[in-house]
Amino acid sequence: MTNLSGSNFIAGKASQQGSSTFTSVNPRTRAAGSVRFFNATAHEIDEAVTHAAAAFEITRHYSAERLAAFLDRAAAEINGLGDELLETADWETGLGIPRLTGERGRTTGQLQAFARLLREGSYVEAIIDTALPDRQPAPRPDIRRMLLPIGPVAVFSASNFPFAFAVAGGDSASAWAAGCPVVVKAHPGHPATSELFALAINRATEGEGFPRGWFSLLHGNGVEVGQTLVQHPLLEAVGFTGSLRGGRALYDTAARRERPIPVYAEMGSINPIVILPGAAARRSEGLAEGLVNSVTLGSGQFCTNPGLILMLNEASTRPFIEAVKGKMAGRAPGVLLNEAIERGLTATVAGTQGRGTVETLTGGTVVEGDSFCYANTVLETTGAAFIADGGLQAEHFGPVTLLVVCESREELEAAIRGLHGNLTATIHAEVDEIDVAEALFSLLREKAGRLIWNGFPTGVEVVQAMQHGGPYPATTAPGTTSVGMTAIRRFLRPVAYQNMLEALLPDALKKANPLGIWRIVNGEMTKGEVTSL
């Protein structure tokens, strides 16, 4: 087993400058871990970002192939951590070895997928409009545009994905792929897991001959580390996954800087599912089973957890609700990640119950015992109450869902029109309900980043076409995604070159297309060389 030091890692070097420490806690037993982790000091934060800025002076010139080699090496080093990584993360999160094994594959897979994206090359979005010297009344200059790396990026690990949205998760992978050094604020829920990742990434950084400031890891179990980090003048962008409160606070801090920077925060989402009467009538059992599986997956601690079910009050509705309630009550609740999540869930469910319009069908309480645990919970309210009270859209981060029963199609449409932004929106319907579904999807499209037909939102594929984002409060940047290959765009900045000498152009924009990438030349997608209009 690796002897963990509890250190921060600043540009490859272990660092313990502060005196304040914390330990991990096993969510199954509440036992404290044996390693003390050092909260990063203001000086360590400054060192990390300063080294990242120095590294960027070098890595901003790296070829796509060189960056791809690092990503492949990082994936190999993570796999090289072996079972120790899985066992450490299981001890710190209670997520279980099978789930963590899958998440490790997803994490290394996304690093490798970004490497393939870089080698294919068109992610730089090269666009060339050649000059029109004879245009009247004035000639048009030659304009060539491409995406270039933005600079040092701060990444905030999420608690609920200790691999895939953490030290070397999607935010870091996409920033590195863009050519940007990364300073990670580790999540205090899994610091030992974070240190193992840091050791692997340090080996990859050194092995590929990258400057040491390419990666740093900072620990912190309070808001100070993150707040100080985001204010650092040499930082250029932030990637965050977590609570609405945390994401919004960091977004506001970044906006108050003398030189504001973008914060790509993925935050609260309740992922509405509309179930039309035909689907509830004809597939009641299977639909209830699928829904309960999705709500309780990972103890409900997914950003895509279906926390809101919208239905019409028809003959099939009550039996379906009874089926959902029975299955939720009959299933043993899982372990929650940490005490803060148990506390937060208790408070948010109590807040919803306290609004006076909500009935608790099952659950609604903490499950007493050694582990952090909350009962599988089904809440119900009316369409009218939901429309009148935006507070009923609060995220309950855990195995909880709120059923909203509407009295008419008009009421259902009004409920959808009043929805806040979400990551996903789903409709379950039968083929003879397609006209209604089409009209409702048209409304839902304004509310979510991913629309799902007869499926469930949990389970987010890492593919080119994935969109994992949505209007506020799902994210602070609805034009972007934090999963899938286009996540790289968050850490790239467009630059146009006007009438530039061929010798001064980047390879991606040169006449002969030496990289052999797809480009849009005078409005046509081509891999060919530039010919004038």
Query: Which residues are near ligand NAP by CB under 6 A?
Result: 156, 158-160, 185, 187-188, 220-223, 226-227, 241-243, 246, 249-250, 266-269, 303, 340-341, 344, 395, 397
Nearest approach, Cβ of residue 186 and ligand NAP (Å): 7
Q: Is 373 a catalytic residue?
A: no
Whichever of 25 and 249 has its CB closer to ligand NAP, that residue is: 249
Whichever of 185 and 447 has its CB closer to ligand NAP, that residue is: 185
Which helix (H) or strand (E) segment holds residue 308: the answer is strand 308-312
User: Could you give the C-alpha distances from 532 to 132, 142, 521, in angstroms and in order?
Assistant: 8, 10, 9
Give strand pairing partners of 215. Answer: 182
Exposure string of 254-264, with b = 16+ CB inside 10 Å and e = fewer, is: beeeeeebbbb
In order, the DSSP letters of 27-80 are TTT-PBPSPPEEPPPHHHHHHHHHHHHHHHHHHTT--HHHHHHHHHHHHHHHHT
Provide the angle, in degrees to the nearest 10, between the axes of the packed helices 97-120 and 170-178.
Answer: 20
Whichever of 72 and 395 has its CB closer to ligand NAP, that residue is: 395
Whichever of 126 and 249 has its CB closer to ligand NAP, that residue is: 249
Whichever of 94 and 179 has its CB closer to ligand NAP, that residue is: 94
Whichever of 340 and 500 has its CB closer to ligand NAP, that residue is: 340
Nearest approach, Cβ of residue 427 and ligand NAP (Å): 22
Q: Which residue is catalytic, options 47, 77, 103, 266?
A: 266
Distance of alpha carbon 57 from alpha carbon 73, whole angstroms: 22
Nearest approach, Cβ of residue 372 and ligand NAP (Å): 11
Give strand pairing partners of 309. Answer: 273, 403
| Contact present, 56 and 37 (Cβ < 8 Å) | no
| Beta-sheet strand order (sheet of 182-185) | 13-15, 8-10, 215-218, 182-185, 153-156, 237-241, 263-266
SS3 445: coil
**Where would I find the H helices in 163-270?**
170-178, 191-207, 223-230, 244-256
Q: Is 266 a catalytic residue?
A: yes
Given the structure tokens 């949205």, which residue do they identify?
Answer: 165
E strands within 109-192? 127-129, 143-149, 153-156, 182-185
| Contact present, 407 and 384 (Cβ < 8 Å) | yes
Q: Which residue is catalytic, options 180, 303, 373, 406?
A: 303
Nearest approach, Cβ of residue 22 and ligand NAP (Å): 9
Nearest approach, Cβ of residue 217 and ligand NAP (Å): 12
Whichever of 287 and 303 has its CB closer to ligand NAP, that residue is: 303
In order, the DSSP letters of 488-512 are GGGGEEEEEEES--GGGS-GGGSTT
Nearest approach, Cβ of residue 225 and ligand NAP (Å): 6
Distance of alpha carbon 424 from alpha carbon 416, whole angstroms: 13
Nearest approach, Cβ of residue 36 and ligand NAP (Å): 16
Which residues are designated catalytic? 266, 303
